[in-house]
């Protein structure tokens, strides 16, 4: 009489494969949609967290299925192995995000000049939604940036500001930064012949004009500095991010012959995850040198996971290579 042994089936292994496949499909599908702008950041954050939880459950079931296979020879070893692989494909990027969140400061605004960060010409939005809480916000702006990102520093180059501006635009194009607006002082026209004084001598006359990229002109009154009009709607702008009238006045003073400043506002999207950031680049001409400052602000979430620092360091390293030999150390 023959004895026939029937192997038990590991249902945990079967469910591990199913859940692992679902978690991987959810993760890849939503990541692709968000990368190309078809899915909002808050929705992607929610689905990313959900796929990580499901993948963790699939991992635990796969380990139990492998243990049952080794202990009693239960059927389902291949299913458990497939579930393990698919779960790890989701958990590896999730673990990287958790590691960066725990080791890097909780800031979404990075700049090379924490004392006087470059401003923005157009209003920039930052959505925190339900991911932010007061206890997650640092007590001071840029808290912990110097320790976490020591390479985020400005650059000084020997040369006129117009030469550095050309290199900045070229690097921005190569780095995939989309320039949305530029504010730079224009050279003054030749002085016109003097005319006899009239009763309107006390009225304001434009002494400088700036091209913001959108064709608008800012006129400066020779009578009162407070008559300067800002280049954007201040009611829609965040006070800490947008250039105010005082900042515009300083830029106009550069056009009038003092220290000249050029502001470039750009936007970019990361290559893999498609996270959006607004960037401000400030060029300041000082004597025979030009100093370059940068600022990068994420559009979503209380934590940038080091993305903005990577954007700044990558751009400035490329600018160093473009202007090789004229950097001042």
Domain boundaries, the chain: 11-103, 109-187+204-322
Joined together, the tokens standing for residue 49 give 């967290």
The rounded distance, in Å, linking the Cα atoms of 54 and 49 is: 9
pTM value? 0.71
Contacts for 80 with CB less than 8 Å, ≥ 6 apart: 10, 12, 13, 16, 17, 61, 62, 63, 65, 66, 69
The rounded distance, in Å, linking the Cα atoms of 29 and 228 is: 50
**What is the average pLDDT across 170-196?**
75
**What is the average pLDDT across 190-215?**
45
The pLDDT value recorded for residue 326 is 67
The pLDDT value recorded for residue 5 is 62
Summary mean pLDDT of the chain:
78
Q: How far is CA 239 from the centre of its chain?
A: 19
Task: Look at 127 and 141; give whichever has higher pLDDT.
Answer: 141
Model pLDDT for residues 209-264, shown as the tens digit of each residue: 444 444 333 333 334 433 333 344 444 434 445 555 445 444 444 444 446 789 99
Q: Which of 273, 321, 268 is nearest to 294 (CA)?
A: 268
**Whole-Å CA distances, 286 to 190, 291, 323:** 24, 7, 17
Percentage of residues of the chain with pLDDT beyond 70: 70
Class of domain 109-187+204-322: alpha beta
- Which residues are paired to 120 by β-bridges? 242
Q: Which of 42, 6, 196 is nearest to 125 (CA)?
A: 42
Q: Where are the alpha helices (DSSP H) in the chain?
A: 11-35, 41-72, 77-103, 145-148, 161-174, 245-255, 307-322
Q: Which of 74-83, 140-149, 306-315 has the highest mean pLDDT?
A: 306-315
Is the confidence at residue 327, as pLDDT, over 70? no
The pLDDT value recorded for residue 217 is 35
Is the confidence at residue 52, as pLDDT, over 70? yes
The pLDDT value recorded for residue 194 is 52
Is the confidence at residue 181, as pLDDT, over 60? yes
**What is the average pLDDT across 277-300?**
93
Is the confidence at residue 22, as pLDDT, over 60? yes
Is the confidence at residue 325, as pLDDT, over 70? no
Give the pLDDT band of residue 322 (cuts 50, 70, 90): very high
Task: Look at 143 and 19; give whichever has higher pLDDT.
Answer: 19
Angle between helices 161-174 and 307-322 (to 10 degrees): 120
């Amino acid at each position: 009489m023959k004895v026939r042994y029937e192997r038990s089936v590991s249902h945990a292994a079967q469910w591990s494969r199913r859940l692992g496949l679902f978690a991987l499909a959810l993760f890849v599908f939503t990541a692709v949609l968000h990368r190309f702008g078809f899915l909002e950041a808050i929705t992607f954050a929610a689905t990313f967290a959900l796929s990580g939880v499901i993948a963790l459950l699939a991992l635990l079931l796969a380990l139990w299925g492998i243990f049952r296979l080794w202990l009693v020879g239960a059927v389902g070893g291949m299913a458990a192995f497939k579930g393990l692989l698919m779960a790890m494909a989701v958990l590896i990027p999730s673990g990287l995000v958790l590691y960066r969140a725990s080791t890097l400061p909780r800031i979404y605004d990075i700049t090379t000049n924490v004392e006087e960060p470059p401003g923005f010409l157009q209003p920039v939005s930052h959505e925190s939604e339900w991911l932010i809480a007061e206890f997650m916000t640092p007590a001071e702006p840029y808290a912990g940036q110097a320790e976490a990102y020591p390479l985020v520093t400005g650059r000084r180059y020997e040369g006129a500001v117009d030469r550095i501006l050309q290199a900045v635009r070229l690097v921005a194009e190569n780095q995939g930064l989309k320039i949305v607006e530029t504010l730079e002082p224009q050279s003054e026209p030749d002085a016109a012949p003097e005319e006899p004084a009239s009763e309107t001598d006390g009225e304001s006359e434009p002494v400088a004009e700036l091209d913001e990229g959108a064709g608008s002109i800012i006129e400066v009154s020779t009578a009162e500095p407070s008559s300067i009009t800002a280049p954007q709607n201040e009611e829609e702008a965040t006070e800490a991010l947008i250039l105010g009238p005082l900042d515009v006045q300083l830029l106009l003073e550069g056009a009038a012959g003092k220290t000249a400043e050029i502001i470039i506002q750009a936007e970019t999207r990361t290559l893999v995850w498609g996270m959006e950031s607004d960037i401000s680049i400030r060029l300041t001409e000082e004597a025979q040198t030009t100093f370059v400052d940068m600022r990068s602000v994420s559009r979503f979430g209380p934590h940038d996971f080091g993305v903005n620092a990577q954007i700044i360091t990558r751009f400035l390293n490329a600018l160093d290579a473009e202007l090789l030999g004229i950097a001042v150390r």
